[in-house]
Amino acid sequence: MNSKKKGIVLLFSSLFLIFTSLVFFIIGCNSTRLISDINKRLSLTILILSVILLIYSIFLLIRFRYRRGFKKSKVIIFSAFIGLYVVGCSSFLFILYGPIDNFRTWLITTAMMTMNHQHYCKWFYNDEVINEVLANNYVGRSEEDTNPNLVTFDEEVVYENEYEKAVLKRDKDALYKIIEFEVNGCDAYLAVIYDASKIKVGVSKRIGVSGQYIYDMTREQNAVLAINGGGFYDPNYNSNGANPLGVTIADGKIITDIQYDSMNGGIIGFDLENRLVLLRDASAKEAVAYGLRDAVTMGPFLIVNGKMADIKGNGGWGYGARSAIGQRKDGIVLMLVVDSNEFRTKGASIRDLAEIMQKYGAINAANLDGGTSSAMVVNNKIINDPINSALEHKTRGIPTIFKVVE
């Protein structure tokens, strides 16, 4: 191999090694969970040697520029490959660590809200960066309880905007209607229920043993419409949905009464006057004494007494499939389900849920269980598209639902 060919080979090799070692070194500087300190130092050493090799290859190419090298077609092919590799490595580092933090915020807030996917962000970011992002994306705790008297069940029809018209314009005597739209490129379904007295909490017939699929509960309990309800204990995202979080009340009967510590959530239910009530730090007995007839436990609370929660950034839960429930001043209840995509990179944030509920007039609203649990059933058929962790288009067993019965 003559000196010019040697220079070309060394040039391509040094560029490959420079950007490979640079990627490993920068990742190692930001987190030691994927790249250890030893490997980070090794990457730095390779980076320095590669730069020296690059300088030497340029020297050879300049000195022997008039000698014959490789065929032009081969040089073009290798140049294209190295060029793509350099652009790929540079783009990868820019997305992870560049000044535009959209991807960083999405990855950290989405991964850290899971039990078994936190390592995806911990590979690339240290605890300081993770905590900083989470500190800028959260739902603040409101010390205000819902005021049921704000729900007045007004019957006057006034279309103040397109959202009011979408809610209030309906067929005569219709119990509910479905409004379809998109959120961040994903399908969303808003069920508008005109008679809150028809909304109950449905419970799995195998509560404490396993959950049930929402369409089975809907069919067995003669519901015309339902969405998933409260959260449930789900270690490693592998449970069968048997045990609900916190307090569960169905038709005035206490199903579960377990202490649930939440900074921005709590009991979500309807009282004897068919008003949506959001309670923090209450036991099941206290909730029943307050007048709740049907309730589950989840959060965060999105809107309390007409005031949107103090939401920073995307709310700290990232983006994904979501469910929520809310009530307007006129007593109309809103049930919302938003799909995600197969790779769970889209869907709704907590901020999106709050803003949608606010647009459609909710004065009280709360987030329900999400992810694969997010489902809406109308006439015994799931109308949205839940996706599980195996990328199968199916939901999972859950312990509770909000159902509409005629």
Residue at 117: amino acid letter: H
Q: Which of 40, 75, 100 is the last residue before a domain boundary?
A: 100
> What local confidence, expressed as pLDDT, does residue 259 receive?
85
In a domain? residue 278: yes
Q: Is there a domain that residue 392 lies in? A: yes
Q: Do 224 and 339 reside in the same domain of the chain?
A: yes
Please check whether residue 258 lies inside any domain of the structure. yes
Per the listing, tokens 């579960």 go with 256
Q: Which of 39, 67, 100 is the last residue of a domain?
A: 100
Name the phi and psi angles at 46, rounded to 5: -65, -40
Task: Establish if 50 belongs to a structural domain.
Answer: yes
Give whole-number Cα distances, 183 to 189, 306, 348, in Å.
10, 22, 6
CA dist 28 to 89, 102, 247, Å? 15, 21, 45
Q: Kindly state whether residues 166 and 65 are assigned to the same domain.
A: no
Cα separation, 391 vs 335, in Å, equals 25
Residue 333 contacts residue 196 (beta carbons within 8 Å)? yes
Structure tokens at 358: 């606010």
**pLDDT for position 157:** 66
Strands 322-328 and 381-382: unpaired
In this prediction, residue 18 carries a pLDDT of 97
For residue 28, give its domain range: 3-100
Q: For residues 314 and 104, what is the distance between their CA atoms, to the nearest angstrom?
A: 12
First to last CA, the chain: 86
pLDDT by 10-residue block (mean), the chain, 406 residues: 82 95 96 93 96 93 75 87 96 95 91 77 94 90 82 74 91 93 96 97 95 96 97 78 94 93 88 96 93 96 95 90 96 97 86 97 96 95 90 92 96
Residues 92 and 193 in one domain: no
Token output for 16: 């490959």
Same domain, 42 and 179: no
3-state secondary structure of 221: coil
Tokens of 262: 């939440």
Same domain, 242 and 305: yes
Best CA proximity match to 140, nearest among 304, 361, 357? 304
- What is the predicted pLDDT for the residue at 152? 80
pLDDT at 237: 63
Domain shared by 70 and 211, yes or no: no
Q: Are residues 273 and 383 in the same domain?
A: yes
Any alpha helices (H) in 221-315, and if so which ranges?
284-290
- In the three-class reduction of DSSP (H, G, I as helix; E, B as strand; rest coil), residue 338 is classed as strand
Domain total for the chain?
A: 2
Q: Does residue 163 share a domain with residue 64?
A: no
**306 closest CA partner among 348, 260, 226, 365:** 365
Q: Which residues contact 390 (CB under 8 A, 6 or more apart)?
A: none
Instruction: Write down which residue in 79, 100, 121 finishes a domain.
Output: 100
Continuous segment of H or E residues that includes residue 38? helix 37-63
- On whether both 80 and 146 belong to a single domain, the answer is no
Question: Which residue is listed with tokens 């060029």?
Answer: 83
Which strand (E) or helix (H) includes residue 301? Answer: strand 301-304
- Which letter, b or e, does each residue of 59-84 get, where b requires 16 or more Cβ atoms within 10 Å of its Cβ? ebbeebeeeebeeeeeeeeeeeebee
The verdict on 152 and 48 lying in the same domain is no
Helix (H) or strand (E) segment spanning residue 87: helix 72-97
Residue 256 CA to chain centroid, in angstroms?
27
Tell me the sheet residues that pair with 290: none
From 349, 341, 348, select the one nearest 393 (Cα to Cα). 341
Cα-based distances in Å from 133 to 111, 156, 319: 12, 45, 15
**Does some domain include residue 110?**
no
Q: Are 321 and 387 in contact (CB under 8 A)?
A: yes
Q: Which residues pair with 181 in a beta bridge?
A: 188
Residues 305 and 224 in one domain: yes
* Length of the chain (residues): 406
Q: Is 74 in the same domain as 194?
A: no
